[in-house]
């Protein structure tokens, strides 16, 4: 199974690497592997970090490591020149955990966070609604791309809870800008926003919690 994540790529000139990274111009990448929201670790699990070579990058190279009993892992002694496209996968190459760049900012050890075999995302949002801007015939729809609730007559405030299962292996989604919540003045308006989330129409973002309920987000409509 493949889980693809594009993390921001930031290159550092090799001429200055000894000043900002390890004394020998290398760095390490660490993280944690969990099976699911139970917190059970991928213990003694073999991982491979692959740098993808190419015509304008350095040669391909691999680093290997094994998680400890708590699922922690570290790839050590990576030369700073290898800071572009990486893949992290199991030693058999069957499960891809990461593909993309890794942000490197003045640190000897780069923490790329927690990875889950499966994870659940939660969000709680309180909407304050200016119902004076709605027509008497309007019905307020609020939801995600996969689920929604509706309210009539239009309330002055409403609290919503949503959750989402991610069953593919990959990094924690906790660093994203949140879960997109969509609203509409009626079902047609809501569907238009839901089918065109790339336009940001009636789209608001609520804080998420990975495997736990987050703090409430406070949002306004319209």
Domain CATH for 58: 2.60.40.10
Q: Residues 188, 153: one domain?
A: yes
pLDDT band at 21 (very low <50, low <70, confident <90, very high): very low
Structural domain count of the chain: 2
pLDDT per residue as tens digits for the range 59-80? 788 999 999 999 999 999 988 8
One-character DSSP codes across 51-84:
E---TTSPPPEEEEEE--TTSEEEEEEEETT--S
Q: Residues 18, 88: one domain?
A: yes
Q: To the nearest whole percent, how much of the chain has pLDDT over 90?
A: 51
Q: Residues 141, 111: one domain?
A: no
- How many other C-beta atoms lie within 10 A of the C-beta of residue 112? 22
* pLDDT > 60? residue 44: yes
In what order do the strands lie in the sheet containing 170-171?
72-79, 26-34, 109-116, 170-171
Q: Output b/e per residue, 74-110; b: 16+ Cβ within 10 A.
A: bbeebbbbbbbbbbbbbeeeebbbbbbbbebeeeeeb
| Of the residues 116, 149, 184, the one at which a domain ends | 116
How far apart are the C-alpha atoms of 3 and 123, rounded to whole Å? Answer: 22
Is 2 domain-assigned?
no
Distance from chain centroid for Cα 35: 16
Is 9 domain-assigned?
no
The neighbouring-strand residues paired with 33 are 115
pLDDT per residue as tens digits for the range 115-171? 999 999 999 999 999 999 999 999 999 999 889 999 999 999 999 999 888 888 888
| Of the residues 70, 89, 116, the one at which a domain ends | 116
* pLDDT > 80? residue 83: no
How far apart are the C-alpha atoms of 165 and 76, rounded to whole Å? Answer: 33
| Of the residues 94, 116, 138, the one at which a domain ends | 116
Q: Which domain holds residue 165?
A: 119-221
Is 213 domain-assigned?
yes
In this structure, what DSSP letter does residue 2 have? B
Q: Residues 103, 158: one domain?
A: no
Is 198 domain-assigned?
yes
């Amino acid at each position: 199974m493949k889980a693809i994540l594009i993390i921001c790529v930031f290159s550092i000139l090799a001429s200055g690497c000894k000043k900002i990274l390890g004394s020998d111009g290398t760095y390490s990448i660490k993280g944690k592997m969990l099976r699911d929201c139970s917190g059970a670790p991928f213990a003694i699990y073999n991982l491979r970090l692959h740098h993808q070579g190419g015509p304008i990058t350095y040669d391909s190279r691999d680093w290997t490591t094994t998680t400890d009993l708590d699922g922690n892992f570290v790839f050590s002694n990576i030369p700073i020149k290898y800071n572009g496209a990486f893949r992290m996968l199991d030693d058999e190459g069957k499960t891809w955990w990461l593909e993309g760049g890794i942000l490197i900012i003045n640190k000897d050890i780069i923490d790329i966070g927690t990875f889950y075999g499966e994870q659940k995302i939660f969000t709680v949002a309180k909407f304050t609604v200016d119902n004076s801007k709605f027509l008497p015939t309007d019905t307020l729809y609020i939801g995600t791309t996969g689920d929604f609730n509706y309210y009539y007559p239009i309330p002055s405030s409403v609290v919503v809870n949503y959750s989402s299962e991610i069953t593919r292996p990959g990094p924690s989604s906790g660093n994203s800008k949140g879960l997109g919540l969509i609203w509409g003045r009626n079902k047609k308006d809501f569907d238009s926003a839901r089918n065109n989330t790339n336009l940001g129409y009636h789209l608001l973002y609520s804080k998420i919690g990975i495997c736990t309920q987050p703090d409430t987000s406070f949002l306004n409509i319209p």
